[in-house]
Structures are given as structure tokens and as C-alpha cells.
Structure 1
Amino acid sequence: MSFDVSRNFIDKSISLYRGDLRDVPEQRPTSVRVFISSTFTDTIDERDSLIRIVYPKLQKYCLETYNVQFHYSDMRWGIPDQSINDHSTEDMCLQELDRCCQLSLATNCVILLSHRYGGRMLPVRIREHLFNELQTFIFDEEDKSLLNTAYRLDTNQTYLSNEQSMEYSYVLLPVNPEAKTQWKKDEKRLQEVLRYASARCFENKKISENERNEFHISTTAKEIYRALQNNEHRQQRMVVFLREIEDIACVEPDLKSKFTDEKFNSTEGSNVEAQKFLAELKTYIKSKLSEHNIFTYKVHWKDESSKREYLNEFLARFYQVIKDQIDYHIKRSQSKDALYTEALEHAIRCKMFNKNYSPREDIMQQIKDFVLSNTSGAPCILHGDSGTGKSSIMAQIPVEVPNWFRTENNTSISVVIRFLGTTSFTSDIRRPLVSIIQQICTIYGFQKPIIHESNTLQDIKADLEKILEQIPTKEKLILLFDSIDQLRVEDYDCSMWLPVNYPNNVKCIVSTIPNPDMDKRNILEGLKSLCSNATIIEVTKLDENLAQQVIEKWLQRDNRSLTQIQRKWLLSKLEPTWNEPTPLYLSLLYDISLGWHSFDDDRLTNLRRIGYTRDAIDQLYDQLSKKHGEVIFRRAITYVQLSGGLSETELLDMLSADDKVLKSVFVHYLPPPEIFRLPNILWIRIRNDMHKYLVEMEVDGTVILYFYHRSFRYHKAYHYYEKDEVEVEWILRAYYAGHTENGLNLNTLPYEMNSQKLIKKYNIKGSLAVNRCLRKQQPYVTHDKKSGVIWNMRRINQLYMLIRYPLCTPYFLQECDYLSSVLSCPDHNIGDILRACVGHMMVNRELRFLLRLCESCSTVLSKHRANFAFEISSRLAPLVTVLPEHTYNFLQECLNKCKLYWLDKETRTSNPCVNKYSIEAIYALKMYPEGLFILVSGKIRMYFVNGNIEEYAWPFNEEFRSLIAVHSFVCIYSTQAFLVYDFISREVCMVQMDMKDILHMGFVSRSVLLLCSKHRKSIDFYEVREKKPLKSYEFENPIIECDSVRITTIESLVKVTLETDVICYLHIKPESYNIIKKLKKKSENESILLNDTIDVHYDIGQSFAYLYHLKNAEDFQNDSFQRIDDLPSFSSRCHRVACHQESSTGKADAALVWFDVGTAVVLHSCDLYFGITVYCALDNGEFRKYSVTMMSYLPGQSIILKQDKKLIQSIIDLQIHGDFIVTLDETKK
């Protein structure tokens, strides 16, 4: 964004590109929002028909033709008791009308009028001087007493009086629900008294005409006058439908009361007055609007055919005229290009963030000094914790810049700002950089460089640097990148895209939090390293004095004052704590105070203890839950939170599908079954109260509402009701899936009746057949002749977010279309899905197996996306007799969609080989989380999980025979040498030759390597990352055997057998190496560590084994062994294989494997097992992958895998990796 100090802007587009915020709206219109202004009881038929017939057609038309949402606001339908009791209905209607006028792309208001003028409500607020004048014309003491009982003076809110001095107002007190009957009588009397008094005051010139009208005109009339005022200079934005019932005098009295004001006016004079005002209103409408936008209908209401003909004509005309206005406006607005839209979006956000600016003179002075400095150099780095107000400071810079350069003549200043992560185009840095380049070129008239998809970030960075050098020296440019931490993790490396040296006339400021998450890199340290001479400014929390100044400024801005008790309470919350107060914390406290009145100070004692931001959010949620209803408020917030943001249509659909919400609302009545929806007004009330903390952004082509601040995004509306979140997850899944797990359509899900009051009122038992009028989900993938394949990313991504949750698992295990779509979608890959959910403890084991299966064919699917059903069914078919229910159903779903079928099913089942690869002679192979490592002559080959294949050949003559790997390191060794290779940086870390009798090597942490040589009295440790020896550990006698297992990423257990047959168990930690156990070796010849708590002892030929539990006493006499009988015979040495899958204990599980004749035996207690696949190398040089079994779901079981006898006899090594077993043919040794 930018400013020109020396001249006014003529071209608004260039003004916007330069950063002039003066003509920037509060929000960018992104949808069609139509406010329906009508009276209540006399237009029910029209409004219900619109909801049932016309609105769905308009929603479909807007979405299919222009890809925009259509919203309607009918505030007369379903007004809750709470709104009536607190007298907020009228304000809420006018606020929503203003919002529609501001944000609608086309039509913003439709008026329906007939014979009723509408309800005339008591004013919610009466200015103090007006209240006093009215009392002078109220002569009855009872009436005065009634007035003073209903209204109380509120000194919290101040107003500017006609004499330009500040005054207070009287506030209408909420209605006590238990005294409603009496209130109705009092309300009628007050209306009469105030109308009479206001009329007399006006006649005596004590008050103005507008002040008099506040007591006489209806809510509907106020809406219409406001709408006409809002659209005074905007054409084709309003439509009026006037209905004249020609037989109104002949209809039944009960029906007539619904169509006129007689029932609502206590005297004949009041009714005459209402008709007079109605006539004036219609005349005023006709004087302000074109006759082409006013439609009058005459109807005989008692004549059913006339009534039916009128309704059909009305609905058809309504649809056509709104459609025409939509076409007219949207086609005109489509001339704006994507750059203008992007620049406008960030300008709007700049104004929004600026509203929350807390004065920080010290910080702004540092920024000013940097901007005005006349030297080239590095950018300025603005950093601070979340919630300290960095974005609002960045938004204040464009406001301050013109003043900073006021004294410089003939100087043009431009400010280009991007609030990263706030729109769908700013979550990765590539698109913001491209748009910034285009914006700078537009500002200065440069030729825009052509940037292709193939251009790298470094290429785009180079283009930006070239353009910055071309800016004339008289021009000043300020680049602002706000919230780098909101980018994708891949873009945290700023060296890839951020220029570090700028010309004298260009200044760049970036803002970030130091460390977004514990598992992500520190952005601040990276920036400091990249820009060693950068100006660094820390945004700290506010001190108490500054916090008080901010509060005082906000009170002054909003014309509010506090009582002594209120001020004392508020200031007590500003005392500094470890991370408070922050601007967000202050904003929350201030918002809580906005609900106060000076006459209810006792409410402060009921406020919860507030000391931190989370407490203030809790208080805000508690406050709004009481106001709007516990269920609907917390459910609405939870839907928005768990989904990552929803459009208003989506949210209203979900609330309408949520019976728990509907039952909390429909206490006294039920809507028509054919339009069984939550009244829009209920969400509108919540949105209006939460607007400060919600932000509209575009995600996947949909404009959504989401929380502006992280503190809200991560704050749960439910603290103790996990069941509620599960129910919300279920509805989210069913909504985007288009059906429930049992095939029911969420749209027509029966409404279960359990209210005895409603059962009796409507004479309904059991469930009610309803139509919730939910928007139909579009297919995952559609094909267009012009655009080709179109992905429904909104639907795909929302379901993608839910794949981890147990309640949603059945859907993903039976929905072949979804998994095939998400895996073939360019924005996703199987690796992303596995990282998102396979390690998640809640994920169903069947789903884990299915995803691993998808991974096994990801290479094929990346080239042939349409082959999903065939590839999956070809892998599942051999296991058809052992598949669990959901996986079996998934197979059937694939077979139904598969274009190729088995020619010989029996042959396919008897030959389960899935993949085969040719490879040279293998010396060793190991499976690790990173991938499969194969040691062959002269080189090591690495098959990574993502499908990449790499190899390293060492340049000297040494035949290595063993390998181990961890994290990014792989170590290969023989009895006399070892080599450590970093397969990420692709460099050799260590090489040690001329060793002697290497007995065992193992990684005891991510970078510490253990080496043990036979007949030595010590074991040695190396730090491979630093490429140096670390330390040695000495024993009393020479070593003859050694083994080790990892406990955690930084701890290990080492088992050493000495020549004296004493076994020592050494616990390795980063700072300590301690022997925790000693054991006299048993008579059995073989032993092997299973994990850090169990050592297994056995003999070849035996059918039993002993488990030694290290947790028992340390002395030899009390050593405890557990005997395991009835095992398959140990016909070969036993191997330990790590599952590399963390269990519920947080540690990696392991299994023992040995071979009997024709059988591989796996003994394990891996509680996260979910299926086994076998890799092996055969005599003929083939490297094969087999799907073997899914029978290992039960933990703690001995699983026997039966295979071809000839094949098993030649296998001597085997590895497990989660659902993988890797085997090695002995002939390849």
C-alpha cells in the first residue's frame, strides 16, 4: 500500500496500489447478501415460499454461474425470547441491514409491504435531555413511576448533545421472564404515554422531528428508511413488492388481525396513525426508487386460485429480478483483475488490524528512524510473542508514513503490505512475491516479468531484486511482510525468497513470532543469521501504565466512562504477569466491559477470576453463552474451530443438522417440516457479538469465517464435554461426505421428538420426517471442456482434516471415491496423509493398514491416477479371507469401480506376489522409518518411503557386510572398518579403517554411535555429527558379546557379556552411563535383548524360552526368569526386529523372529500392529514384496506366518517396520 504526499489521486486503482487507505471499504464484497424487510404475520406465506423454492435456486445460480455465495437475512423468522427480553431485536435488524448493504455484490434489500405498518417498539435508549423533556408532559404520577421503573440512567455510555456537550442516556431494562404478562400491559401503557409526550414536546418545539419519530415509526419503517439512505447513490440494489388484498374487509376477523395493525394498537387513533405512516412510507419509497424496481400485486385472499396465482407470479418475479440485478452487478465487477482484488484484500485487513492498534510510541519511533534512514542495507525485523500486537503495529505504519515524509517535497511514497496467511493466496510465499512484483511494476509503469510455474523461489527473488533496483531515487517504497510464521513450514527459510540488501529508497520490514511451534525451526534466529546487520525491534508485553493509557484511549474513542468500582476492577487486571497484559488481553477485557451498565456494579462480583488471555476468553464465552444459549453458542464456536473456518451457509447448514442445537431452540414451536432449519437470526446475533474476533478469508474458493487470533483458534469452547466435540466431528464428516455412515442423507435425517410439550402441541410421536434444506455437496472431481479436471478442494480438504478421528473412520473405510480423489489430487499425497494420521494414537488400525497399502502403490498412482480401484483391489484380493469388515467392504467398493477384473481368481490368490524388483547380490538389508537400506558390493542403496531411490558407492576397496541406520545417518561396517554416511546432506561423516574384531555397532541416540570390539575391556562412543570420538566405558574383564537397543531418541540399553560369563546391562543417557543390572549367564547358549526391560534366553532345537525382566532385583540370587512354553522350535538363531511404530507407552515396540521348517514365527507384544508385508530376495536375483497377513491385530500374540516352504527355508534375516517385514535370502549373503 502506498501514499503520494504531493498530489491527490485520481485513479483509485493506483491509489490502492500505492497504499492510500482513504477509499478502502471495511470489507470486500464477496457474496450476494439480501436483507428481507417486511412485517411479520402478514407475509408468512411469501417468506416461507421464498425459503422453500426461490432461495435454493438463487444459491445454485450464483454458485454455478459466478462461484459466489447467496445469503438471505430474514429477521422475522424465529426471533428468540432472549432477543425480545433484552430489547435487542431492532438494533440487531438494523446492524444486519447495514452489513448487507455494505457487503452484497448485488441486491442488498428486498421490501415486502401490504396493509400492515408493523410493530412500533419502545426505544431501547433515550438521551438524558430528551427523557427529561418527556417527563414534563407526563402528568400522571403512576405513568411517571412506570417510566422511571422501566428505564434507568446509564453513565457508562456518553453522547454528544445538541449543545455539543456530553450527556448520558436512559436504558430500557431487560424483561423478567417470570413477569412477562405484566410487562405486556406495562409496555402498551408506556407506548401510549411516550407517543403522547413526544408529540406534545414536538408541538412545543422542545425536540426535533427525528427525535419525535423514534417513538412513532415501526421497526420495518426504520429498516426501509435506513436501506434507502444506504443506497442513495447506488442503483439496482433494492427491490420492493407491494401487495394489495382487495377483499381485506371481507376476511375473517382472526385472519384480518394478521394482515392489519388493529390487534397491535390499543386505540383506534393509534391504528389510524399507523395507516397514515404506512401511506407516507409507500409514497416515500416510490419517490426514491425507480418504478422498474417496484412491483404491485392485487389479490383476492379468500379466492384460493387468485391467491395461488399471485404467489406463483410473485415467486417467479422475485427470482427473475434478483437474478437480473446479480448479473448486472457481478458482470460489471468482473473487470477488476486478480492483482486489484489481492491488493484490496490486504488494504481492508490493514484497516481492520489498525482498529486494534494500541499506541506504542517507543516502537513506532524505532520504525520511523529505520524508514527515514538514508542508507541501504538489510530489512527491519519486528518480533514478539503471539498476541503482542505486531499486526496492528504493521497496520499503523501506512497510516504514519505520510506524516513522516510531510516535509519532503516532490516525494512519492508507496507502501506495499502483505498480511501472510490471511488469504488463500498468502499461505505460501510464492504467490505473494509474484503479486508484489506485479504491484510494484504497476505503480512505476515497469514491464512485468513473465513468471512461469517452473520458476523457482530463487528465480522470483532475483526478479524482485532487479525491479527494486529500477525504482527512481525520488520514489520511496516500503515493503511490509507481516506474520512470516503464518507461512508454510517450507517457507520459513527466508534465504530462499527474502532479499537481504535494499537500495537507499527501499525499506523492508518483516514481522514474526520467534518460534511458531515446538517442533518447527526458530524463524527469528534464521533471520538474524541471514541478516547480520538488520534492525531488530522486539514487541514486548505492555507495562501497566501503557495498558492503562490504551484503555483510556479506547474509552475516549467510544464515548464511554466507568464507575469507580468498575475502574478499580478493570485496572486490577492490568498488573503485569509473565506474559500479560498483551493487546489481545486488553481488548478482551475492554469488550467484557462494554456489556456493563453503571447501575449494575454488583455484576462484577460474579465475574470469574481473570488473570490471563485464556481466562478472558472463557469469560467472554460464558457471557455470550448466557446471552445466546449455552448449546447453540458453544456448538457454533466448535464447528468454526474444528473445521478451520466455515462459510455462513455451511455453518447454518450444520447447525440445522444438529438436533441438539435445534432442541435447545425449538422449545415452544417447530418450523414447517419442509423447511426445518435454524433461524438465521440466531447465528447473526452471535456473529455480531463476535465480529471483532472473526475474520473473513477465502479458502479453497469459499469465503469463510474464522478466528482472527491464534488464542481463539486453539481455545476450546468445551472444557469438560468431549462428547460434544465428537458429535460435532460426526456432523462435519456427514455434511461434507453427503451422507452418514449407514447411508442416510443428513438433509432428510428424521428429527427425534422428545419434548412432551411439542408432542402434545403437534400431536407427533416418535420421529418427524423433515427437510433441512442443506446445500447439496458437489462431486469430488468434475470435468470441464475448457478447464479440464476441477477438484472440489473445499470438500476434499474438510474431509482430509477429519481423517484422524475415530468416529469418522468407518466413512473413510467405505468411501473409495474420497480416498481415490484425495490421493490423485495435486495438492495432496499419501505421505502427507500418513504424517497427519498414522502416528496419531486415535487412528483406527484398519485405516492405518489401508493407508500403508495406498503408500505401497503411490508410485504407480502418481503416474496413473485413474488406476486407484485396480491397484488397491489387486493388493487386497489375496487377503480376501482374512480382511476385517470395513476393509472387506472397501475391497468390494473398489471391485465395483474397477475397470479390470481377474481372469483367474484362484491363481491370483495362490500367488500373492505384489511387486518384484531386480537387484544385485545383497549382503544386508534393514527397514527403518526413513526407508529400506540395502547393502550390496561396493555401495549402499536407499529406498525411501516417498519413492525416491538413492545410492552411495565408497571410493576404496572394502567389503562391508553389515549396516545400521538412524535419523539421517547410515553406518556400514565389517569386522575391521566402518563408514558413516549422512543421506540428507549426502556426505561421509566418519571413516575408520584398520580396526580389529568389530563385534557390534549401534546408534544409542540420533548422532551417537557405539562400537564394541571382541576381547577389549571397553566400548567406544563417537559423535558422528561432529565427526569425533566422544568417550569410552571400561569393564573389569574382556568382552565376548555385545548387543544394544534404543529406548528413546536419546536413551539406549547396552548389554555386554564378559569372559567371566557375567552379563552387564548399561543404561546410556546423554549425560550419564550407568550399569543398572548384572546377571550370571544361564546355561542356554543363546540370548537376545527384546527391549529395554526384557532379555530372552533360549537354545537351538528347544521349544521354550526364558524371559529375564530387568525391573527385578539386581543381585544374582533374586534374578527372576519367566518361562514361555509351547513355542515353535528354535531351528535357527532368533532375530530381534524393531517395529519402528510408537506404542501407547511412547516407546518403540519390538518382536522376535525365528524360522522353523516352512514357517516364519513372530513373537511380539506390539500393541499398534496393523498388518504385515514381506520383502525378500530370491535365488533368481529378484527382490519381492508380499502381502502376507492382517491377523496380527491382537497384542501379545505369537503369530505364525505360513509361506511357500522352498522360499522360507532360504530366508535367514527378517525386519519389521510397522506393517512391513523385510527378509533376506541366505543365498544372497
Structure 2
Amino acid sequence: MLKVRVLDHRDIKRNADRTIKQPTAKRNSLNNGIFRRKSPSKNVKVETLIQPEAEVQGDTNEKADLKVAATFERVFQGHFVDIPSPLSKLVRVFTSSTFTDTTVERNALMEDVYPALKEFCRETHGLDFQVVDMRWGVRDEATDDHMTTKLCINEIGNCQRLSLGPNFVVVDMRWGVRDEATDDHMTTKLCINEIGNCQRLSLGPNFVVFLCQKYGYRPIPSEILCTELDMLKRALRDEHEDTSLLDTWYIEDANAVPALFILQPISSILVNFNNKRIPKLQKQDAAAWWEAEASMQNSLRKAAKICYDRGYLTHEQMHNYFMSVTEREVIHGILKAKNPNEHCLCYVRHINNIVCAEAQQLLSSLRDERVPAKLDAANIRRSTIEWAGRDGVDTVFHADYIKRFCNDFYESITQMVNKAMKKHDKFRDHLFSEVLQHLCNALSVSNMFFGRDDELKAAESYIRSNSNVPVVYYGENGCGKTSTLAKIAREIRNWYDRGEQPIIVLRFLGTSPASSSIAPLLTSVCDQELRGTSPTELSKLFLHFKKMTTLATDQKPLVFFVNFFI
């Protein structure tokens, strides 16, 4: 850690030719850890990288420009609060639906639209395009340990995290798997986690949903609070209902906090459920599971309704036993998502002359009330077609509908990507991205930091002292040096007096091209503080760096954090 005193960039801008005394401290080398120097500087002329436009068209543009300038300033000063996430290079879209409702549409997207979107993202913006369709090839093994739902939720999260622009299109993960097999709760949890990944990783779109005739399969939970399941069992016993199936399939996990009942893997009780070598035995165990699952489903729903009527459960807790996987995905992908109109699409398709009685009230509430209340009308597409063929949608009879659907899907996703790129264009600066990456790395590695009070107190004592000696923090691989250094960088502002405004320069060496060798490293560090063009010759670059470290006042401390791995 290297500690210096430096002038604020705005002070330098207003008085660029100001003469400052020569440094009196001895020369210090760049080391792992913290390095501080109290030293003023020679004449240095510095330019500010980002300034508001000289002529602004309207108050809105002026405020936007000032906000961008303030964001650049916060990043270059090393703040960890109110800074953007690094610009993603990925458009990752989670698609959600029920198994059989949208087979024709998903086939058309897979064959014609996704390749075109991949080419558009690559050629137009240099982005990678990915689609998550959890309904393709979810195997019985996922059903066995009740992981299907969990897989789906996980994938939605990936799309929201990674995607630029759209990130949620509801298309199901149920291709090649029975509804019952896909819709168990562990699979739902995986799906929800994946939704979160999409929201976290995607630039732009990250979730698209197809809501058609079916509400979707409603699985039993893979985990239930011990207190809640005990209450449900008591309610069933009060009604003289048998609870032996629940006792067999739900086993208490006392190590969980709070304690949980866990739905056991199917093959742990029905050992031939995955036995493909003996199809007859496998078929028998599969039938036994579906029968047991249906019975437990009815019992849990009945008990939940009783407990709700008695005031023991909230409506949300009761609804957990009636909810489909698709609705759960929509909740995480749209209803609970941040800025869903920038990232989500909903396709609603009606088929005339067909009434599907399956959970119609729940489907109508989700499709016609809850989603429209969260998404703008511009993000919802509605189509009405006539029944044709065996399954209602026929590739020949509905060719025009499928073509319009594919064209609209392509245009909607590309517009979301373009809009997201335009929004991020003002932050597409190489130096800004470099500095931001290291700040975000520090945030990431320090989020799970606990303890190390002695090290933190030692760092605080050093900051409050007048020492000019660099601090080196070293240890064996894996002992926590990086996370400790990141935690110190986040806490260091709290250790300065109120009138002092430290500037943090942080680099995790080897984590980016500009931090992988000495010349680009010094260039990025100098440009972060001086906002000028650094010399390319290495000897002059060393002098340029030394000049930067001599910009110092007691009110404007400059602290260097350099982390590398041996």
C-alpha cells in the first residue's frame, strides 16, 4: 500500500500551472500493499478527461452529462459506492414456457432467429449472444434429485447478470422431458438461479416469456421449513388424513439453519427409477413416484388451504404449494426484476375455440393482470390464432403467424441490445473500464470478508500515522491477502479525518491487459490521476509516474494498492 498526498483534479484544472514545492521524502519503490508519501510537486499541467458539454440541449441533457461526469470522477477517485458495473460483453437470454405449449415457436427461433441474433450481436457490437432454453433435454436424473426447478431459476439469474439489453423471454426448459419430471422444485431452484445469472451477466435483454394456454406443472417443494411442515401435518391429522407418504419422502435436515425437511431423491427410495437397463422395473418405479407425488401434492395443498383459513399461513405461503414453475420464473424474471422494461419481453398467444381448465384462474391472473402491471404494453406481444393440426399450432397452416412472430422477436431483441449499447456508450472509455474493473474486483473479493481485525487495525494505524515507509502484506497462497487488501481499500476512507478526501488507486496485477506488464500499468495509473497522455518511452514513463506521486496535499491523500500473485 502506497500513501501519497495529491491535489484534487478540479483544483489542478483551475490552477494548472501552480508551482508546488519539491518533494522532501526519499524515493519509494512500488510494492505490494500500501504506499504513502507526503510530498508536493513541480509544475504539472493536467487535463480533465470528462467534462460536461459546453453547449447543452435542454436541462435533461445537461443533468445527464453532469451525472456521467460525476460517475467518471467517482471511479477515478476510487470510490466504491454509486459506481456502475463493468460493461458486459454478453447478451444472455433466458426463455421460459411450458413443455408443449410453444414447441413450434421455439423450433422456429432455434432454427432461424437465434443464428441471426448471434451474427447481429457479433458483427454490430462485438458481443456474444447466448440463449438459455431449459426445456431442451432436461433428463430424468434432474427429476430424481428434484433439481429441475433450481436449474431453471439459476439460468435466469445468469441471463440477468450477463446480458446487455433483453434478458427475459419466457420459453420453457421442458423439451424432451415430461412436465411432471421437469417441474419438481429443485429443478425450479436451478432455473431461478439461472435467471439471476442472466440478470447479472447479460447486457440488455435477459428474459422472455411465452404465456399461452397452459399454466404449467405445479411441483411439490423440495424443501419445507420444519415448523411449517409440522403444522401442515397437524392440520392433516386433524382432518384424519394419512401423512405417511410425507413422513417417508421428507427427511429432516437438522444441520440447516433454520431446520428444513428435504424431499429425498427418488432413486433413494424407488431404486429402479433411473435403471434404464431394466425398462420394466424403471417403468414400475416411475409410475409409483408419479402416484406418490400426486398424493403428496394434494395433501400439501389441502393442508396449506386449511392453515391459511385458520390464519397460520399468509396467502403467499399458501400459494407456494399451488404455484407452477413458469409462474415462479416470471416472478424472478419480471415481477421482481430491476428495470424489467429494459430487459424483458412477454409473448401472449391465444388459440380460439379452446378452453384449458388447468389452473385457468392462476394463469389468467399472471398473464392478464400481474405481468401487464409490471411490463409496459410495448414489451407485451399478443396474438390470436385458430386451432390447427394435432397440437393447435401447425407449421404450414400458421406459417404467416410464425413468420411474424420470428420477425418481431428478432426486431425486439436487437432494439433492446441497441438501446443498451447506446446507454452504455458514454461509459465506453478504455481507462474508465480499466479502473472500474479493479474497483469491482475489490468489491467482489471483499464481499465475503470476515475477521482479520488485527490486520485492519494495523492498516488504520498506518494511515493515521505520518510514516512514508511502504507497507508490504505478504503470506502463503490462499491465506487471504487479496481479500484483506480489498477490504482495506473499501474501509480506508473511514480512517481519514473529515476534511481529507483520499484518492484510491487500486490494481490487481495480471487481471487485465493493462495490469499485466510495467509499461501499461504505469500508463493507466498515471492517466487515472493526471488525465493526460503518458509518454511511451519507459524511462520517461518512470519520471512521469514519479511526477504524479509528488502532487500532494494533506487534504488530498493519494493511496496506492497493488496486489500480485507469486
TM-score category of the 2 structures, normalised to the smaller one: 0.7 to 0.9
Query: Counterparts of 1:357 and 1:67 in 2: how far apart (Å)?
Result: 35
TM-superposed CA distance for 1:417, in Å, is 0.8
Preserved contact between residue 382 and residue 390 of structure 1 (Cα < 8 Å): yes
Give the secondary-structure state (helix, strand or coil) at the position aligned to 1:156: coil
Query: Counterparts of 2:210 and 2:86 in 1: how far apart (Å)?
Result: 28
Preserved contact between residue 13 and residue 340 of structure 1 (Cα < 8 Å): yes
Query: Counterparts of 1:316 and 1:449 in 2: how far apart (Å)?
Result: 47
1:17-32 correspondence runs (5 A): 17-24=76-83, 28-32=87-91
Residue equivalent to 2:509: 420
**Given the superposition, is the C-alpha separation of residues 437 and 236 from structure 1 closer, same or farther in structure 2, using an over 3 Å criterion?**
same
Match of 1:69 among 108, 128, 144: 128
Residue equivalent to 1:736: none
**Given the superposition, is the C-alpha separation of residues 106 and 113 from structure 1 closer, same or farther in structure 2, using an over 3 Å criterion?**
same
Query: Counterparts of 1:116 and 1:424 in 2: how far apart (Å)?
Result: 50
What amino acid is the match of 1:480? F
Matched, 1:451 2:534: yes
Deviation string 1:131-171 (CA, Å, 9 cap, x unpaired) is 12211221366731111111122122214xxxxxxxx2211
Deviation string 1:290-326 (CA, Å, 9 cap, x unpaired) is 1111111222241654322211111111011111111
Query: Counterparts of 1:351 and 1:225 in 2: how far apart (Å)?
Result: 28
Query: Counterparts of 2:213 and 2:473 in 1: how far apart (Å)?
Result: 62
**Given the superposition, is the C-alpha separation of residues 232 and 449 from structure 1 closer, same or farther in structure 2, using an over 3 Å criterion?**
closer
Match of 1:439 among 493, 510, 528: 528
Query: Counterparts of 2:373 and 2:218 in 1: how far apart (Å)?
Result: 24
Query: Counterparts of 2:432 and 2:330 in 1: how far apart (Å)?
Result: 33
Match of 1:398 among 489, 496, 503: 489
Match of 1:367 among 455, 459, 467: 459
**Given the superposition, is the C-alpha separation of residues 82 and 141 from structure 1 closer, same or farther in structure 2, using an over 3 Å criterion?**
farther
Query: Counterparts of 2:85 and 2:348 in 1: how far apart (Å)?
Result: 33
Residue equivalent to 2:151: none
Match of 2:262 among 171, 184, 198: 171
Query: Counterparts of 1:195 and 1:181 in 2: how far apart (Å)?
Result: 21
Give the secondary-structure state (helix, strand or coil) at the position aligned to 1:138: helix
**Given the superposition, is the C-alpha separation of residues 424 and 53 from structure 1 closer, same or farther in structure 2, using an over 3 Å criterion?**
farther
Matched, 1:314 2:400: no
1:760-799 correspondence runs (5 A): none
Query: Counterparts of 1:245 and 1:461 in 2: how far apart (Å)?
Result: 72
**Given the superposition, is the C-alpha separation of residues 234 and 220 from structure 1 closer, same or farther in structure 2, using an over 3 Å criterion?**
closer
TM norm structure 2: 0.73
1:173-252 correspondence runs (5 A): 173-176=264-267, 177-178=271-272, 179-248=285-354
Give the secondary-structure state (helix, strand or coil) at the position aligned to 2:102: helix
What amino acid is the match of 2:95? I
TM-superposed CA distance for 1:232, in Å, is 4.5
Residue equivalent to 2:111: 52
Structure 2, unmatched stretches of 5+, are 4-65, 148-186, 273-284
Preserved contact between residue 442 and residue 486 of structure 2 (Cα < 8 Å): yes
What amino acid is the match of 1:431? P
Residue equivalent to 2:97: 38
Matched, 1:147 2:253: no
Preserved contact between residue 527 and residue 534 of structure 2 (Cα < 8 Å): no
Deviation string 1:236-291 (CA, Å, 9 cap, x unpaired) is 31111111122546xxxxxxxxxx5xxxxxxxxxx55x111000001211222111
Residue equivalent to 1:758: none
Preserved contact between residue 27 and residue 103 of structure 1 (Cα < 8 Å): no
Query: Counterparts of 1:458 and 1:79 in 2: how far apart (Å)?
Result: 60
Residue equivalent to 2:424: 333
Query: Counterparts of 1:319 and 1:434 in 2: how far apart (Å)?
Result: 42
The structure with the largest alpha-carbon Rg is 1
Residue equivalent to 2:166: none
Match of 1:92 among 187, 190, 196: 190
Residue equivalent to 1:286: 372
Structure 1, unmatched stretches of 5+, are 3-8, 160-167, 250-259, 261-270, 442-447, 486-512, 514-1229
Residue equivalent to 2:550: 469
Query: Counterparts of 1:22 and 1:320 in 2: how far apart (Å)?
Result: 36
Deviation string 1:882-916 (CA, Å, 9 cap, x unpaired) is xxxxxxxxxxxxxxxxxxxxxxxxxxxxxxxxxxx
Query: Counterparts of 2:341 and 2:386 in 1: how far apart (Å)?
Result: 33
Matched, 1:128 2:220: no
**Given the superposition, is the C-alpha separation of residues 196 and 142 from structure 1 closer, same or farther in structure 2, using an over 3 Å criterion?**
closer
Match of 1:112 among 183, 199, 210: 210
Preserved contact between residue 205 and residue 344 of structure 2 (Cα < 8 Å): yes
Query: Counterparts of 2:324 and 2:375 in 1: how far apart (Å)?
Result: 21
TM-superposed CA distance for 1:54, in Å, is 0.9
Preserved contact between residue 449 and residue 463 of structure 1 (Cα < 8 Å): no
What amino acid is the match of 2:373? S
RMSD over aligned Cα atoms: 2.4
1:580-595 correspondence runs (5 A): none
TM-superposed CA distance for 1:432, in Å, is 2.7
TM-superposed CA distance for 1:28, in Å, is 5.0
Query: Counterparts of 1:224 and 1:347 in 2: how far apart (Å)?
Result: 33
Query: Counterparts of 1:426 and 1:52 in 2: how far apart (Å)?
Result: 42
Query: Counterparts of 2:256 and 2:294 in 1: how far apart (Å)?
Result: 27
Higher helix share: 2
Preserved contact between residue 118 and residue 128 of structure 2 (Cα < 8 Å): yes
TM-superposed CA distance for 1:463, in Å, is 1.2
Give the secondary-structure state (helix, strand or coil) at the position aligned to 2:513: coil
Query: Counterparts of 1:449 and 1:234 in 2: how far apart (Å)?
Result: 39
Deviation string 1:399-436 (CA, Å, 9 cap, x unpaired) is 3313323xx22111222211111123322232232222
1:829-840 correspondence runs (5 A): none
Greater mean alpha carbon deviation, residues 60-69 or residues 230-239: 230-239
**Given the superposition, is the C-alpha separation of residues 282 and 175 from structure 1 closer, same or farther in structure 2, using an over 3 Å criterion?**
same
Match of 1:277 among 362, 368, 379: 362
What amino acid is the match of 1:474? Q
**Given the superposition, is the C-alpha separation of residues 325 and 92 from structure 1 closer, same or farther in structure 2, using an over 3 Å criterion?**
same
Query: Counterparts of 1:148 and 1:27 in 2: how far apart (Å)?
Result: 49
Higher strand share: 1
1:617-1016 correspondence runs (5 A): none
**Given the superposition, is the C-alpha separation of residues 158 and 37 from structure 1 closer, same or farther in structure 2, using an over 3 Å criterion?**
same
Give the secondary-structure state (helix, strand or coil) at the position aligned to 1:415: strand
What amino acid is the match of 1:82? E
**Given the superposition, is the C-alpha separation of residues 203 and 26 from structure 1 closer, same or farther in structure 2, using an over 3 Å criterion?**
farther
What amino acid is the match of 1:226? H
TM norm structure 1: 0.34
Deviation string 1:637-695 (CA, Å, 9 cap, x unpaired) is xxxxxxxxxxxxxxxxxxxxxxxxxxxxxxxxxxxxxxxxxxxxxxxxxxxxxxxxxxx
**Given the superposition, is the C-alpha separation of residues 38 and 222 from structure 1 closer, same or farther in structure 2, using an over 3 Å criterion?**
same
Preserved contact between residue 266 and residue 289 of structure 2 (Cα < 8 Å): yes
What amino acid is the match of 2:523? V
Task: Report sequence identity in percent.
Answer: 28
TM-superposed CA distance for 1:194, in Å, is 0.7
Preserved contact between residue 335 and residue 371 of structure 2 (Cα < 8 Å): no
Query: Counterparts of 1:91 and 1:401 in 2: how far apart (Å)?
Result: 39
**Given the superposition, is the C-alpha separation of residues 110 and 369 from structure 1 closer, same or farther in structure 2, using an over 3 Å criterion?**
same
Preserved contact between residue 34 and residue 107 of structure 1 (Cα < 8 Å): yes
TM-superposed CA distance for 1:187, in Å, is 0.4
Preserved contact between residue 34 and residue 108 of structure 1 (Cα < 8 Å): yes
TM-superposed CA distance for 1:222, in Å, is 0.8
Query: Counterparts of 1:54 and 1:143 in 2: how far apart (Å)?
Result: 51
Deviation string 1:702-724 (CA, Å, 9 cap, x unpaired) is xxxxxxxxxxxxxxxxxxxxxxx
**Larger relative contact order (C-alpha < 8 A, sep ≥ 6)?**
2
Give the secondary-structure state (helix, strand or coil) at the position aligned to 2:405: helix
What amino acid is the match of 1:372? R
Residue equivalent to 2:54: none
What amino acid is the match of 2:475? G
Query: Counterparts of 2:495 and 2:462 in 1: how far apart (Å)?
Result: 11
What amino acid is the match of 1:450? T
